[in-house]
């Protein structure tokens, strides 16, 4: 069966990679691409470009929307996907917990499937899983995530998901010295349930994360690096194929992989 796909954010770094994935995958078909830039310039690169997701959906029958846009757009795009009953596969980060909960209810009411994954790289999913396992035995943990300097959201979606998974297995505790003083605001990073997340932004970086655990006389570091954006594509392909069988909104690729 051919899967008809609309890509939102098609002019972006990830969107362009998704278009390449679709073009090289025999059972995938690009039926529409959403880009304000390309639609305005009327650039036609073998795809139909639309300025908005609604325009693309009005003009084409589609099975899946793949979205890599921006934190300010993602909630609206998910609601549009739900209204048009087209299953979304979303990589865009920056949704709040409250928005996610609300959208989960809306998709449940609509009996529609969808996948939101803050990271599609299989290695990153394993890194998160291993970190969650380690936290059970080594509860003193800090996360350092490093990204390119065009990234809008901090902390990254991956670090938040990692923190969430760690919290499920780590005993509740506040780390560090109880009388610690932060001389400069932000010096100790963001606090998540008593442990810290640090965000680095530099040109030259792509997407990297270290999870550091400390115990008496020992350190454990779990690290993942995405060296290019092709690293996310096997996960995107799996999500596009699996979402067709789903009837609820799922957050995290680990929920559809056997890891």
Ligand X SMILES: NC(=O)C1=CN([C@@H]2O[C@H](COP(=O)(O)OP(=O)(O)OC[C@H]3O[C@@H](n4cnc5c(N)ncnc54)[C@H](OP(=O)(O)O)[C@@H]3O)[C@@H](O)[C@H]2O)C=CC1
Positions annotated as catalytic residues are 147, 151
Stretch that binds ligand LZUJQKHR, among 17-25, 98-106, 149-157, 234-242 (CB under 6 A): 149-157
Site string for ligand LZUJQKHR, 64-93 (x = CB under 6 A): -----------------------------x
120 part of the interface to ligand X, by CB under 6 A: yes
Beta strands in the chain (DSSP E): 3-8, 28-34, 49-50, 64-67, 87-90, 114-116, 141-147, 190-192, 195-201, 207-215, 218-226, 249-251
- Residue 181 structure tokens: 């003083």
Of 49 and 213, nearer to ligand X (C-beta) is: 49
**Cα atoms in the Cβ-side hemisphere of radius 13 Å centred on 154:** 20
Residue 152 structure tokens: 């809008």
Check whether 255 is labelled as a binding-site residue: no
* Residue 88 near which of ligand LZUJQKHR, ligand X, none (CB within 5-8 Å, type-dependent): none
Of 240, 109, 203, 99, nearest to 157 (Cα)? 99
Tokens, residue 190:
């963001």
Residue whose CB is less far from ligand X, 118 or 189: 118
Binding mask 116-135 for ligand LZUJQKHR (x = CB under 6 A): --xx----------------
Listed residue (89, 67, 86) closest to 8, CA to CA: 67
Binding residues for (S)-2,3,4,5-tetrahydrodipicolinate: 148, 157-158
């Amino acid at each position: 069966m051919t899967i008809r796909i609309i890509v939102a954010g098609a002019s972006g770094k990830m969107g362009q990679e998704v278009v390449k994935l679709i073009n090289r995958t025999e059972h995938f078909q690009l039926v529409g691409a959403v880009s304000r830039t390309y639609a305005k310039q009327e650039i036609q690169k073998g795809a139909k470009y639309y300025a908005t997701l609604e325009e693309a959906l009005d003009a084409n029958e589609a099975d899946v929307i793949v979205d890599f846009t921006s934190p300010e757009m993602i909630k609206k795009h998910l609601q549009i996907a739900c209204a048009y009953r087209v299953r979304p596969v979303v990589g865009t980060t920056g949704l709040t917990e409250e928005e996610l909960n609300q959208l989960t209810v809306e998709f449940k009411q609509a009996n529609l499937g969808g996948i939101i994954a803050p990271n599609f790289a299989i290695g990153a999913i394993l890194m998160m899983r291993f970190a969650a396992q380690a936290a059970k035995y080594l509860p003193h943990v800090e996360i350092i995530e490093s990204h390119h300097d065009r990234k809008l959201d901090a902390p990254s979606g991956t670090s938040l998901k990692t923190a969430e998974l760690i919290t499920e297995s780590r005993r509740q505790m506040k780390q560090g010295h109880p009388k610690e003083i932060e001389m400069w605001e932000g010096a100790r990073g963001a606090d998540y349930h008593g442990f810290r997340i640090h965000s680095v932004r530099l040109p030259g970086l792509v997407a990297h994360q270290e999870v550091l655990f400390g115990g008496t006389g020992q350190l454990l570091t779990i690290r993942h690096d995405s060296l290019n954006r092709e690293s996310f594509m096997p996960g995107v392909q799996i999500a596009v194929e699996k979402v067709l069988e789903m009837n609820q909104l799922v957050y995290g690729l680990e929920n559809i992989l056997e890891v």
